[in-house]
Amino acid sequence: METRKKLPLATQIFIALVLGIIAGLLLQSHADFADSYIKPIGTIFLNLLKFIVVPIVLFSIMAGIISMSDIRKVGSIGIKTVCYYLCTTAVAIVIGLVGGNLFKGFFPILETSELSYEASEGIPFMDTVVNIFPSNFIAPLSEATMLQVIVMALLIGFAIILVGDEAAPAVKGINSFNAIFMKCMEMILKLSPIGVFCLICPVVATNGAAIIGSLAMVLLAAYICYFMHMLIVYSFAVKVMGGMSPLAFLKGQLPAMIFAFSSSSSVGTLPINMKGCEKMGADKEVTSFVLPLGATINMDGTAIYQGVCAIFIAACYGIHLTPSQMVTIVLTATLASIGTAGVPGAGMVMLAMVLASVGLPLDGIALVAGVDRIFDMGRTVVNITGDASCALIVSNLERKKAAKKAS
Ligand code: ASP
């Protein structure tokens, strides 16, 4: 990103965030205006990101696999990545459950008769598995079904390696398209300060201070858990396995965090997260594989949110959760977070699956639905930070492995 005498993009995004919040507070009594005229500009920006994200995921994963030119290397990175993602997600839910329990005394027992929330039916587990595999070449691309796009990219990438010489023109073509779409992405990212301003302003204008007040405790519990997870789990992992100072990591991660906070979309934040990780020293071949996968399946913030909200909803209905129910929550929330799409609001839909698994009333979602966006902003920050920590750790481990082999 060019910096010629201009403020760095990260600073621009930060300023845009602060200005957006101030403008939102000022516009509280004109929330309609913010919704009708400012939000659409944010939507245009999000649309551009959505447009770019499918080709980025497709080509960057293919290019990443091809560049490794060795199926064993892809396997080694893949196994490390998936293990890290699953373990950190399980820890995240435990933190969410502990945090929720610590705050339980502050949660109100509510009059629940007026609640209504159209919870969508949880999708059966096996259907979720089946849905990962595409049955059509075009549909996953046009509908942006990210898990299916990833499967396509993996299949084609492996096939190219196996075909060998005959696939040389395809390798060239894929690398060239990858470069082109990366350039497009860079152009779109230059607009991110405007995008951030226009996304955050209407959120603040409509949610205002009042609604936050009534749910302050559960929000506080979730945010404390988000921070704990980032400060303890990621910092420790990055330090021990990534050989990097946690402070340098969090600092380098800041632009992506701010972006995630305002967009509430892991997938939308993917381009900026990739850039940030490469700047912090992650290998391109690793980021191009680990980050798109993480933006799709690794949602630690969402897992924390599901843990805290399950406890909150149980408390509001005066239900006491048993330890075995908590274990069930850990298992289902891990699966639910994998199935959560990296777009705004997706985690709340998956909360239904977690509540249903332990027989909690789905109507309870109505309690948190009003402030879901505020939960979402924080959980998305955690989601993408988890992906980034994984990219740095796997890069470091692979580098060490290569050095060991060479010596
Ligand atoms: N908005 C979150 C994300 O994109 C997903 C969620 O709703 O939990 O990472």
Residue 337 Cβ < 6 Å to ligand 1: no
Specify the ligand 1 atom closest to the Cα of 344: 1
**Distance from Cα 223 to the centre of ligand 1, integer Å:** 15
pLDDT at 116: 43
Cα–Cα dist 270/292, whole Å: 7
Ramachandran region of residue 359, left (φ > 0), alpha (ψ -120 to 50) or beta? Answer: left
* Residue owning the nearest CA to atom 3 of ligand 1: 342
Cα–Cα dist 33/29, whole Å: 9
Specify the ligand 1 atom closest to the Cα of 384: 9
**Distance from Cα 406 to the centre of ligand 1, integer Å:** 41
pLDDT at 118: 44
The candidate with the shortest Cα–Cα distance to 200, out of 15, 51, 388, is 15
- Each residue's pLDDT, cut to its tens digit, for the chain (407 residues) gives 444 567 776 678 778 878 988 898 899 888 899 889 998 998 898 788 778 878 887 887 788 778 776 778 788 888 999 899 999 999 999 999 999 999 887 776 654 444 444 444 555 667 767 877 999 999 989 987 767 887 898 899 889 989 989 999 999 999 899 889 878 877 887 887 898 889 878 878 887 665 555 578 889 999 999 999 999 999 999 999 999 999 999 999 999 999 999 888 898 899 899 999 999 999 988 998 899 888 878 999 999 999 999 999 888 888 888 888 888 888 888 877 876 777 777 788 778 778 877 888 877 776 777 678 889 999 999 999 999 999 999 999 999 988 888 87
**Distance from Cα 311 to the centre of ligand 1, integer Å:** 20
**pTM confidence score:** 0.76
Cβ pair 249, 392 in contact under 8 A: yes
Residue 362's Cα: distance from chain center in Å?
A: 24
**Distance from Cα 302 to the centre of ligand 1, integer Å:** 6
pLDDT at 124: 64
Residue 294 Cβ < 6 Å to ligand 1: no
**Distance from Cα 168 to the centre of ligand 1, integer Å:** 38
pLDDT at 2: 44
* Residue owning the nearest CA to atom 6 of ligand 1: 347
